[in-house]
Amino acid sequence: MAKYKLLLMRDKVSFMINALTGNLKNGGYEVIESDFDMKSVVAHEEDADIMILFASENITEKQSLLVYLKDIIVEKGKLLILIGEKDEIDAISEYIPPHLFCEVVERPLDMNIFMEKIDNIMNEEQAEKRKKSILLVDDDTSYLQLLHEWLKEDYRVGMAKSGVQAITWLARNNVDLILLDYEMPVTNGLQVFEMLKSEQFSKDIPIMFLTSKSDKNIIMQVMAHKPAGYMLKHITKAQLLSNIAKYFVKEEYNKLHY
């Protein structure tokens, strides 16, 4: 049984393409070869665990497709490997910044080293997928970045600056917990809470409120909506990580015993 599905995009079939495909299949991967055109790529990219772009001298003539690949890396988190000669890599870098590729491999290709890279990438990706996922919703960009830095080693972290952004993000992504600012302007935390609970894809996701106010009346207002919990914004990193870890442990216990 194939381990993972790889989409190999190339302009034409060649000896090197056949050798690469053969090695990947022998390594246990399912390989889909695709012409490097918009119709073929769009038809297959959704199901691919990794996309591999085997560059050629004419590759930059497909500018719109290169921009499309950049967009799906950013918006969908797709993993893309670039294989090419140095001048081809430099030309493609004008459309897709090098840091967006999960790997850039110069030709001539050492097949053994390349297979090790593929295996390492997939192992890291699967380890990342096993992490719990948390969506942060707060209008304060600095605070969002701070929480992201605190959480990113232990969790997969998404960020949204408004209720609308949160709903858009959740329509495309699964999440185990939402941390929601209670005191946002325009659409406040309670309104966002109600929006999320009204959507089919987010109604069952547990939500914890974040509040900067420790006033007893505010806390009572927060808890009246029966969130999964609440935390004060001046919480330390250690306290935040401890509270979230305890929450997930409790959830796992409840699943096993109820």
The pLDDT tens digits of the residues spanning 242-257 come to: 999 988 888 876 766 5
More confident residue, 183 or 9: 9
Tell me how far apart the alpha carbons of residues 55 and 99 are, in angstroms, rounded to a whole number: 17
Claim to verify: residue 226 and residue 124 sit in the same structural domain: no
SS3 5: strand
- State mean pLDDT over 68-84: 88
pLDDT tens, position by position, 87-138: 999 999 999 998 889 899 999 999 999 999 998 888 877 766 678 899 999 9
Backbone Cα Rg of the chain: 22
Q: What is the pLDDT of residue 8?
A: 96
Strand 5-10 and strand 30-35: the pairing is parallel
Claim to verify: residue 88 and residue 111 sit in the same structural domain: yes
Position 185 pLDDT exceeds 70: yes
Claim to verify: residue 139 and residue 251 sit in the same structural domain: yes
Position 213 pLDDT exceeds 90: no
Q: What is the pLDDT of residue 195?
A: 87
Position 1 pLDDT exceeds 50: no
> Given 93, 108, 129, which residue is the final one in a domain?
129
Q: What is the pLDDT of residue 256?
A: 64
Residue 88 is part of a domain; what is its CATH number?
Answer: 3.40.50.2300
pLDDT tens, position by position, 153-172: 889 888 999 888 898 888 88
DSSP 230: E
Q: Are the CB atoms for 217 and 211 separated by under 8 Å?
A: no
- State mean pLDDT over 13-22: 93
Task: Take residue 50 and report the two structure tokens written for it.
Answer: 């990794």
Position 258 pLDDT exceeds 70: no
Task: Take residue 245 and report the two structure tokens written for it.
Answer: 């870890």
In the chain, the number of structural domains is 2
Claim to verify: residue 119 and residue 209 sit in the same structural domain: no
| Domain containing residue 80 | 5-129
Closest CA to 238 of 250, 227, 246: 246
